Chains A and B, each alone.
Chain A
Amino acid sequence: MADLTTTFLGITSPNPFWLASAPPTDKEYNVRRAFDAGWGGVVWKTLGEAGPPVVNVNGPRYGAIWGADRRLLGMNNIELITDRDLHTNLEEMTRVKRDYPEHALIASIMVPCEEEAWKSILPLVEQTGADGIELNFGCPHGMSERGMGAAVGQVPEYIQMVAEWCKKYYSKPVIVKLTPNITDIRKPATAAKMGGADAVSLINTINSITHVDLDLMAPEPTIDGKGSHGGYCGPAVKPIALSMVSEIARNNETRGLPISGIGGITTWRDAAEFMALGCGNVQVCTAAMTYGFKVVQEMISGLSQWMDEKGYRSTEDFIGMAVPNVTDWQHLNLNYVTKARIDQDACIGCGRCYAACEDTSHQAIAMSAEREFTVIDEECVACNLCVNVCPVEECITMVELDKGSIDPRTGETVRDYANWTTHPNNPAAVPAAE
């Protein structure tokens, strides 16, 4: 069986599955049980300054959207950082790290953007024996109104500045957790690197309103008739997170910067995808909040089985393997021509492909009186919509036309690789090399 032991920033954990800084990691009781359940590491719920802790709302703090059978697809929250006393948290962290030396324990921190604040908390964290810190520059609600969380993460100069303080007053690895509530994720990631951060983790949650209560005419979760945006997470945000991770992984300024992947990771496969895009490990929250700590068992067994099947002996073997295949649109091969093919034996005759193509695409599917659906190659642009709406897996597939054959739609011969940069329709095209 594949060895899942993962070393990230020199921190070794039995597997790459860490629990993200969030409600599941708010206290000793939870973290001990999480480690016992099999989680490889934990980023402790974000610590704030010493003194009176923050307070949370006393009404609902989570909202959600659901799919079939009330499967939770996305969740948001308006919970703040830990509302427990700093020293209680520090004492608990010390005890847990002492008892679980093989597991990773990271302290998440959020204090005001003043050097003194960081200077005073970092030595306390250092004393716990935690393996590193994660700077919470991501929380999009509540704390950001006080100039912390996402308010810092949205200003690259602040990120760099705080990262520098942390490197100055703390000896172990520093991870900067990024907010996705920006226009270009590469900028804050570059700033973190410039500040000396050892890694970035992303994504934090996305500004969101999950529902509007149409009776109260108020956003949910609703607190006494009012609502405020929360942070969105869960399976629904995974595609956004994957894209942001890939941008950092392939960006010139940030390439090679270790990444801890976060964002809707629910299964072993999600984790593998993040890692293929360059993440050294992953952090999970919503899946645990939905199904409990036990869900990690499936992640462990699934990743092991897949690695065995692929012949990967260590997570190092596949981390970042998909990064070279993430490119710009302009470099995609315009001479890669495919056509949809419908497997008539697998087809159950629902006609969704037909409705989608006929009403909203290229009128490239014919329907017979016997409900047989066939692709009209002369019209098919290979958009993949039929594949996406078909309820039967593998019923519709995209088949590549051989080089040298004629595309019935364009009447043109399928040629060798060529992209937009040399295309005659591109006003900025450069002539192809002779």
Chain B
Amino acid sequence: MNISPRTDGITAGRLTEDELAQNFSDLHPPLDKHEAHVAADRCYFCHDAPCMTACPTSIDIPLFIRQIATGTPEAAAKTIFDQNILGGMCARVCPTETLCEEVCVREIAEGKPVEIGRLQRYATDRLMAQNTHPFERAAPTGKRIAVVGAGPAGLSCAHRLAMKGHEVVILDARPKPGGLNEYGIASYKSTENFAQAEVDWLLRIGGITIEPGTALGRDVTLEALSSRFDAVFIGMGLNGVNALATPGEGLANARDAVDFIADLRQAEDLQSQPVGRNVVVIGGGMTAIDAAVQSRLLGAETVTVAYRRGQDRMAASVYEQHLATASGVRILANVQPVALHGNDALEAVEFEYTRDVDGRLTGTGETIRVPADQCLRAIGQTLAGAPEPLDLSGGKIAVTGAGRTSLPGVWAGGDCATGGDDLTVTAVAEGRDAAEDIHTTLMGEG
């Protein structure tokens, strides 16, 4: 029997190998040299540039674009990496439409910003393709620092510390380093195993050891780390997910969107990745969009993103919403899940329409049943098993200044810490800044 998008239930191989390869190719193909030069020429080299201010890592964007325009993309890449060692991944996953490109004066003038993200990718790709590393380590300091989590925050922190001459050990719960770069980003944003290539390239700085499969709390305690190392940085991300707390959640075929995305990223063969005929994704953030779009790309016949508030309140950017709708995803706003229906397997998700009453989400009593043989939950992640005895705030590790926790000698950054907006680029900035603070603190003591 032929399997197609119209095949009921959850099944793999809805599309041919060629169709899948086409669907999961680079969302934004790299610029070639001429395209990059034309794009770079559009930059006005603004004074005190708004794009630079909007970048959480404060990359000198006008300078790097000018370096591209004058034929030195490697120098441009160095400008980027000086501020953001994961500039390669950020070029792929940053929501530039709400950061640098949103404030580009050409966006204001013409509605067409300079393509900063793609230019950043052009520059970083060029330098990384040279297979060299542009930074050198300072003389050894003799200090050892533990970094918990090999995601964007941890990697950024570790690299900056290593550059300063410290020895760094990164502990990561997963088998592979990279954190969300490796497990949490839509496949079409990080093609050709870029996340691992980037980690390998970053580690060329030297002085960094990664211990995979080691989780804080499960395999090692914060107390032990604090005693074995001169400082600890925690960038463990958010390891828990919120539950729906609705009847039927335990039905087969209802799962967390982050797991769906991670499986997809780790898949050797996209044809082996199962997806429902009718998929319902619950949530309104980037994870919901990534899961929904990829469900479509895998061959789901219908995909619905259901969000409890108005569409304008979605955490996913307007650009991401357009990407979803252009991929054939339906966005159903102002609905909250009431129940998941089905016998053994899921058959439909029932929602109640909502409205905003004085800022409070209120059910209207009217319901709708959306046929679904697969339901993906993307209603937020949480910090599970926060390490004792750190103070928490709003469920995250409370930090002040450059990531200082309530415990001396322990810093934190990225999604697991307060502040920031859970973006890769923010995590990079926080890891970098914590590293600078750790360095100053440790060397001041010496």
A interface residues, Cβ below 8 angstroms from B: 68-70, 348-352, 354-355, 367, 371, 391-392
Q: Which residues of B contact A392 (CB under 8 A)?
A: 109
Specify which of B38, B44, B48 is in contact with A391 (CB 8 Å cutoff).
Answer: B44
> With A70-B34, A392-B109 known to touch, is A350 a contact of B47 (CB < 8 Å)?
yes
Specify which of B38, B47, B109 is in contact with A355 (CB 8 Å cutoff).
Answer: B47
Q: Distance (Å) between the CB of A392 and the closest chain B CB?
A: 7
Q: Distance (Å) between the CB of A18 and the closest chain B CB?
A: 34
Can you list the 4 inter-chain pairs with the closest CB atoms, starting with the nearest?
A351-B47, A355-B47, A68-B41, A348-B109
Q: Which residues of A contact B106 (CB under 8 A)?
A: 348
Q: Distance (Å) between the CB of A100 and the closest chain B CB?
A: 40
Selected A-B contacts with CB under 8 Å, 28 pairs: A68-B38, A68-B41, A68-B42, A69-B37, A69-B38, A69-B41, A70-B34, A70-B37, A348-B105, A348-B106, A348-B109, A349-B46, A349-B50, A349-B105, A349-B108, A350-B44, A350-B46, A350-B47, A350-B105, A351-B46, A351-B47, A351-B48, A352-B44, A352-B46, A355-B47, A367-B48, A391-B109, A392-B109
> Closest A-chain residue to B43, C-beta based?
A350
Chain B 28-46 interface 0/1 with A at a Cβ cutoff of 8 Å (1 = within): 0000001001100110111
Q: Which residues of B contact A351 (CB under 8 A)?
A: 46-49
- The CA of A68 and the CA of B109, in the complex, are separated in Å by 19
Q: Which residues of B contact A355 (CB under 8 A)?
A: 47
Q: Which residues of B contact A70 (CB under 8 A)?
A: 34, 37
Known: A351-B49, A367-B47. 10 other contacts (CB 8 A): A348-B106, A348-B109, A349-B108, A350-B46, A350-B47, A352-B44, A352-B45, A354-B47, A391-B44, A391-B109
Within 8 A of A (CB), among B22-72: 34, 37-38, 41-42, 44-50
Q: Which residues of A contact B47 (CB under 8 A)?
A: 350-352, 354-355, 367
Taking residues whose C-beta sits less than 8 angstroms from the other chain, chain B's interface range is: 10 to 19
Q: Distance (Å) between the CB of B224 and the closest chain A CB?
A: 49
- The CA of A70 and the CA of B71, in the complex, are separated in Å by 13
Within 8 A of A (CB), among B201-254: none
Q: Distance (Å) between the CB of A6 and the closest chain B CB?
A: 38
Q: Which residues of B contact A371 (CB under 8 A)?
A: 48, 50
Q: Which residues of A contact B34 (CB under 8 A)?
A: 70
Q: Distance (Å) between the CB of A373 and the closest chain B CB?
A: 9
- The CA of A354 and the CA of B38, in the complex, are separated in Å by 25
- Residue among A350, A352, A354, A355 with max Cβ neighbours from chain B (10 Å): A350
Q: Distance (Å) between the CB of A243 and the closest chain B CB?
A: 29
> Closest A-chain residue to B69, C-beta based?
A68
- The CA of A153 and the CA of B433, in the complex, are separated in Å by 68
Q: Which residues of B contact A348 (CB under 8 A)?
A: 105-106, 108-109
Q: Which residues of A contact B105 (CB under 8 A)?
A: 348-350
- The CA of A355 and the CA of B44, in the complex, are separated in Å by 12
- The CA of A391 and the CA of B108, in the complex, are separated in Å by 13
Q: Distance (Å) between the CB of B95 and the closest chain A CB?
A: 22
- Residue among B37, B48, B108, B109 with max Cβ neighbours from chain A (10 Å): B109
Within 8 A of A (CB), among B106-128: 106, 108-109
Q: Which residues of B contact A350 (CB under 8 A)?
A: 44, 46-47, 105
Q: Which residues of A contact B46 (CB under 8 A)?
A: 349-352
Q: Which residues of B contact A349 (CB under 8 A)?
A: 46, 50, 105, 108
Q: Which residues of B contact A352 (CB under 8 A)?
A: 44-47
Q: Distance (Å) between the CB of B36 and the closest chain A CB?
A: 12
Q: Distance (Å) between the CB of B426 and the closest chain A CB?
A: 24
> Closest A-chain residue to B38, C-beta based?
A69
Q: Distance (Å) between the CB of B65 and the closest chain A CB?
A: 13
Within 8 A of A (CB), among B85-119: 105-106, 108-109
> Closest B-chain residue to A68, C-beta based?
B41
Q: Distance (Å) between the CB of B328 and the closest chain A CB?
A: 35
- Residue among B41, B45, B46 with max Cβ neighbours from chain A (10 Å): B46
> Closest B-chain residue to A346, C-beta based?
B109
Q: Which residues of A contact B41 (CB under 8 A)?
A: 68-69
Q: Distance (Å) between the CB of B325 and the closest chain A CB?
A: 30
- The CA of A352 and the CA of B109, in the complex, are separated in Å by 14
Q: Distance (Å) between the CB of A354 and the closest chain B CB?
A: 5
Q: Distance (Å) between the CB of B51 and the closest chain A CB?
A: 11
> Closest A-chain residue to B48, C-beta based?
A351
- The CA of A352 and the CA of B105, in the complex, are separated in Å by 11
- The CA of A30 and the CA of B391, in the complex, are separated in Å by 84
- The CA of A255 and the CA of B393, in the complex, are separated in Å by 86
Q: Distance (Å) between the CB of A205 and the closest chain B CB?
A: 27
- The CA of A196 and the CA of B130, in the complex, are separated in Å by 67
- The CA of A330 and the CA of B205, in the complex, are separated in Å by 65
- The CA of A352 and the CA of B62, in the complex, are separated in Å by 12
- The CA of A69 and the CA of B37, in the complex, are separated in Å by 7
Q: Which residues of A contact B48 (CB under 8 A)?
A: 351, 367, 371
- The CA of A391 and the CA of B45, in the complex, are separated in Å by 11
- The CA of A348 and the CA of B44, in the complex, are separated in Å by 11
- The CA of A351 and the CA of B53, in the complex, are separated in Å by 14
- The CA of A348 and the CA of B49, in the complex, are separated in Å by 12
- The CA of A350 and the CA of B44, in the complex, are separated in Å by 7
- The CA of A349 and the CA of B34, in the complex, are separated in Å by 28
